[in-house]
Chains A and B, each alone.
Chain A
Amino acid sequence: MGEGDSAVAIDDTRATARAGFRLVYNLVRPHWIPFAVSVFGAGVFAAGTVASASILGWVTDRVIIDTFDESAVAAGVGTAGLAIVLLAIIRAIGVVVRRYYAGMTSELVERTVRDDLAEQYLSQPMSWLRRFSTGRLIAHVDSDTHTLVHSLHPLPFSFGVLFLAIFSGTRLYMIDPQIALIALILFPTMTLINSIYSKIVEKPLAKSQAQVATVAGIAHESFEGALIVKTLGRREAEVARFDEAADQLRAYRQNVGFIQAWMGIFRDSITQFAVFAVLLMGAYRIQAGEMSPGNIVEVAALFGALTIPMLVFGFLLESLIPSVVAWNRLRPVVEATYPAQPSGVALPDGALGVVIDALSFAWPSVDTAPGELVLDDISLVVEPGEMLAVVGSTGSGKSTLCAAIGGVLDDVDDQVYVGGARLSDLSPDQRAKAIAYVFQEAFLFAESIRANIDLDNDRSHEEVSMAAKIATIDEWINSLADGYDTVVGERGVTVSGGQRQRIALARALVRDAGLIILDDATSAVDTVVEQQLLSHLRGASEATMIIVANRLATIELADRVVHLVDGRIARVGTHSELLEDPDYRNLVMAYAEVADG
């Protein structure tokens, strides 16, 4: 989570209400039915509210004052009580309908965005994914999406209160045009205050939003590296780092809160001032005999009702800003396009050869100086069924070469041929069937061991356990209480590095692929087990094997060796041929030297 993320967020705060409404329109459009139901509920509430105000005025004149004037209980008192309760029930139904369906709309929108994100995260090529930090992509799923729909809640009400404004405006005019004039002056003023407020609050809000992501980013990194934090005794330093970010967030939030507190003044007192204005004006109108006390009560109630649109509208405008900010963070991810997947070409059965044609590659990262080639003009032919060892010092490009052949560099898929077909022409399904790529760092899903090995869930138990046998992990799995159904990972049993690697290996083997790539995939496995495992593998599979080898014994198993130096191929040949090269000899014989002491 770098500086870049927050800078983008702050830059994108030209969040005008117009942009907000356009955004909200686009979000709601696919879910318009629950939204329309919600707006209908708001309309019912509006009608009920105006009717309630009128009843209150009528009760004042015809029930209360008449009763006191005539010293006899007015006949309408029972009816009045009933009418008041009935209208309350109608209002309540309106509110429940509006709120439930508004909630449903925003939950639906959230789910749609989440599912869009899920699809992006899974369909985009690695090169795209590497451009974003994990912390940011995770924040999109939860807090950004949540903020995005924050403005949807007041939206149906804002629509519904248009009715409220029309109904109560008409009613006010009917009572007294001069009083209606107060409303006409008062409410545009409120709108103006609201929009000024929106302008003031938008930048602080954007800052606090971006800081939330920064805090999450630090937590993410720090917890992922918990072991290191512990062994280095870095806890206090990490806490200090987190505290600094949390304090910044506190300051931003407090700032926003202070602005909101000032705005609260206008919100809370507007009705009260309006009632006083009505009272004063009403006194003159009653003196002139043009209004009744009941009218004052009704007008006061209507003014109260009219502030609801202002409140809701203000709340909507206010929540539009964070929504637009959240959308500006989400948009580059949600709306990204990805290339269509090729439909595939014919591949031969059995072992698949590999041809690499003048391949060069540099990580498209801002961190690396431009032109820093990790792979430099690599051309290589691997025969079907051959075992090729990739040897080179740290940073020579071994893993990158594996990634290029394994098809996770995407940019160079045109220069790699597997089984005679360009990687870029293979469908994802074909690729996965043809190439079994085992990574340096074994990754397991938080699922059962069986599901981890048989990712497609289309292999028999015999096939799964055979793969596990070859990977020499079968015995361990059987020793577990739940055997192959044992859940591993964060919520399951603890799995050591070596066990992890061997499960990942079994996952590759069960696919029966024509090409197996092992990128130092047995590094956490003991030497003895590794040798046993590789010879099993050679015996059981005829597949072409490309293996990054750091142990002499492994290199000696290979048919040929490619020696990488600084991203270039220094030499290709058999181990004994390459031994003539002093550089190669120094490199691989280092073991012998260590062993000799």
Chain B
Amino acid sequence: MAESQTVDPQAPQQTSSSLDVLRRGIRTTPGLVRGLAATALIGVAVAAGQIAVPIILQLALDRGGLTTGEVDIDEVTRLVIIGVVLVALTQVLSVIARRQLISRAEAALRELRVKAFDHVHRQSLAVHNEQATGVMISRVTSDVDALSRFVEWGLFAWVVEPVVVVGVFVAIGFYSWQLALVGLLSFAPVYFVLRWVRSRMAEAHDERRSAIGDLLGTFNEALTGAEVVRAYDAQDRTLARLERASSRRYETGLRANLYMSGVFVVGDLIGTVMMAIVLIVGITQREAFDLSAGALVAIMLLITLLFSPIAELGESINNAQEAIAGWRKVLDLLDEPIDNLDPTEGTVLPSGPLSIEASGVNFDYGDGIPILRDVSVALDSGSRIAIVGETGSGKSTFGRLLCRLADPIDGQVLIGGVALDSVNVDARQSAIRMVPQDGFLFDASIRKNIANGRAGATQAEIENAISLLGLEAWVEGLPQGLDTPVGERGSSLSVGERQLVSFARAAVADPGVLILDEATSSVDPQTDLQLTRALDRLAEGRTIVSIAHRLSTAEAADVVLVFAAGELVEHGPHDELVAAGGTYAEMFATWTGQ
């Protein structure tokens, strides 16, 4: 668990019990237990079919005269026909039950998977920064798949086999309640042994799952950093890291395997001891218990019916442990609070440009290192604002708070006079739009990526956005125009081109507040000029916040905010700040002196 806690800083600290996981799991996807009663009923029938075999054997031995040698063939034939029909019937029932169970469970798993996926996307960026992408991927894939494997192999056994166990004791009780009691007493240790092994196994499986998370994270790193690894000849060290993660995965797997091997024989061993005890007691007390020879044989065979449930219980406990471990991780993810919960209704923002106000804003990424300290500022609607400051000064984070990628720890952000955390989510997303610096694109065509800017964007709107930004010539130069695929993460395009698409994507949304986070930094001057002009037109009737590198942007802005070490040290029009001779004036002097 140690590792998983460093990975999931938000996860609940205590390891919840399997029963608790089950409860929480059912609460999350109630569909899992719907109709379970019917399945259990059929399970009883299936178990009855299994128990019928030794009973019929006993009847054949005693009534069919097999023990005495005076065989009644008709009676035996009749019994065998009854037995065959009974078994066939219960098997058909079992198929019906299994099909029901599978379709319900798979539907519930899909729901769980999608819920977890949704939850990851609902969390604020503060959480995203802390969590490994690889770990989150394994939550919605391999952790849910572990559950699914259990559904395929173990779930039906969990329904039927307890019934078989109960049924066997009831049947023995019919022959002799005393022997049933003797059997039950010698069977009891199974419970304690299994309980002990189960807790050991739960630990081993948790370790294994967290080793898998680490393994995926490390491989993900080696693949996303492939170029750096090659350019710096870092293969050996990276390989060593991968092999370390792989070894840990091996060791944790082996440990889980050890318990699994042990648990498998518990049933067989204890069942056999029970058989020997029942045999000796039954033989010596046959008169007191009123037993026939056939009955004792049937009891012995009934006891053998317990072997396979107990043995398979070991197997399905193993599957179940793995499933529970995965399930717990998914549920823990779902339990992580969404720190910037959207209001259910929320205030709708007016269209057109909006004012921005920050009052006493403090922020850190959950690690206690302050990123913003007591930032207060009021900005008019429709103005062009530039935020400048050194790298790490908090200017990017301030921009992120303006579109509620995270909430301030203290203080408030107001957009259009409305507290941002009470704004209707759709209104917020259409009114405030950010173009982030990394320009991530989806593996689809340029057209599709631009259309992503606003739900229901029409072809005409996409083309308008292109012409508004003056990108027609660039689009025409592409091999397949707007239908050119951008590749994984947009990798078929250059960084500059990716940003052009990001701009168009923002333009389609027609926001009242546009936040540009270092967006023009990687575009060459000519394209930059093109974009700057288009953005001038786009800025018409909007509030523009630019997180700027170039002081030219600041020079052209109405208001400049100067950040240093998380504080807003100066703000005002460019000319005033230059005249004031402070931090900004110094920066500007260096820049013009180039």
* Residue of B whose beta carbon sits closest to that of A229: B121
Q: Looking at the complex, which of B93-101, B407-415, B461-469 is the stretch in contact with chain A?
A: B93-101
Q: Looking at the complex, which of A267-275, A380-388, A574-582 is the stretch in contact with chain B?
A: A267-275
| A100 engages B152 (CB within 8 Å) | no
Indicate if B550 sits at the interface (CB-CB under 8 A). Answer: yes
How many A residues touch the partner, as a band?
35 or more
Interface set, chain A 130-177, CB cutoff 8 A to B: 133-134, 137-138, 141-143
Q: Looking at the complex, which of A181-189, A345-353, A588-596 is the stretch in contact with chain B?
A: A588-596
| B442 engages A221 (CB within 8 Å) | yes
- CA distance in complex: A456, B84 (Å): 73
Indicate if B420 sits at the interface (CB-CB under 8 A). Answer: no
- CA distance in complex: A408, B130 (Å): 31
Interface set, chain A 215-229, CB cutoff 8 A to B: 215-216, 219-229
- CA distance in complex: A284, B76 (Å): 10
Number of interface residues of B (CB under 8 A): 188
- Residues in B neighbouring A398, C-beta threshold 8 A: 494
| B301 engages A238 (CB within 8 Å) | no
Nearest chain A CB to B358's CB is how many angstroms away? Answer: 19
Q: Looking at the complex, which of B37-45, B168-176, B273-281, B328-336 is the stretch in contact with chain A?
A: B273-281
Nearest chain A CB to B469's CB is how many angstroms away? Answer: 13
| B142 engages A143 (CB within 8 Å) | yes
Indicate if B64 sits at the interface (CB-CB under 8 A). Answer: yes
| A250 engages B106 (CB within 8 Å) | yes
Interface set, chain A 94-129, CB cutoff 8 A to B: 95-96, 99-100, 103-104, 107-108, 110-111, 114-115, 117-119, 121-123, 125-126, 129
Nearest chain B CB to A138's CB is how many angstroms away? Answer: 6
Candidate in B235, B271, B527 with the most chain A CB atoms within 10 angstroms:
B235
Indicate if A287 sits at the interface (CB-CB under 8 A). Answer: yes
Q: Looking at the complex, which of A8-16, A80-88, A190-198 is the stretch in contact with chain B?
A: A80-88
| A253 engages B106 (CB within 8 Å) | yes
Nearest chain A CB to B435's CB is how many angstroms away? Answer: 8
| B437 engages A497 (CB within 8 Å) | yes
| A527 engages B117 (CB within 8 Å) | no
With A68-B293, A395-B497, A597-B555 in contact, do A111 and B442 touch (Cβ < 8 Å)? no
Interface set, chain B 225-264, CB cutoff 8 A to A: 225-235, 237-239, 242-243, 246-247, 249-250, 253-254, 257-258, 260-262, 264
Indicate if A518 sits at the interface (CB-CB under 8 A). Answer: no
- Residues in A neighbouring B389, C-beta threshold 8 A: 526
Q: Looking at the complex, which of B17-25, B53-61, B192-200 is the stretch in contact with chain A?
A: B53-61
Chain B 494-518 interface mask (CB, 8 Å, partner A; 1/0): 1111001000010001000000001
- CA distance in complex: A119, B222 (Å): 11
- Residues in A neighbouring B480, C-beta threshold 8 A: 369
| A250 engages B442 (CB within 8 Å) | no
- Checking B84, B221, B293 against A445 with a beta-carbon cut-off of 8 angstroms, the contacting residue is B221
With A92-B265, A247-B110 in contact, do A550 and B525 touch (Cβ < 8 Å)? yes
Nearest chain A CB to B10's CB is how many angstroms away? Answer: 13
Q: Looking at the complex, which of A22-30, A414-422, A429-437, A537-545 is the stretch in contact with chain B?
A: A429-437
Indicate if A455 sits at the interface (CB-CB under 8 A). Answer: yes
| A497 engages B518 (CB within 8 Å) | yes
- Residues in A neighbouring B275, C-beta threshold 8 A: 84
| A224 engages B440 (CB within 8 Å) | yes
Interface set, chain B 278-323, CB cutoff 8 A to A: 279-280, 283-284, 286, 292-293, 296-297, 300-301, 304
| A68 engages B272 (CB within 8 Å) | no
| B67 engages A293 (CB within 8 Å) | yes
- Checking B138, B223, B239, B521 against A134 with a beta-carbon cut-off of 8 angstroms, the contacting residue is B223
Indicate if B458 sits at the interface (CB-CB under 8 A). Answer: no
- CA distance in complex: A234, B452 (Å): 7
With A103-B254, A254-B103, A265-B91 in contact, do A226 and B128 touch (Cβ < 8 Å)? yes
Can you name 28 A-B residue pairings with CB atoms under 8 Å?
Answer: A74-B283, A77-B284, A99-B257, A103-B258, A107-B253, A115-B246, A118-B243, A126-B230, A129-B223, A134-B488, A228-B440, A242-B140, A246-B110, A250-B106, A258-B99, A264-B94, A272-B49, A293-B297, A394-B524, A497-B518, A499-B392, A526-B388, A528-B390, A528-B587, A587-B525, A589-B525, A594-B528, A594-B552
Extra pairs beyond A111-B247, A591-B525, A593-B529 (17, CB < 8 Å): A81-B279, A118-B246, A129-B223, A129-B226, A142-B216, A212-B141, A215-B141, A224-B489, A235-B118, A253-B152, A272-B50, A289-B69, A300-B57, A490-B217, A524-B521, A526-B389, A594-B550
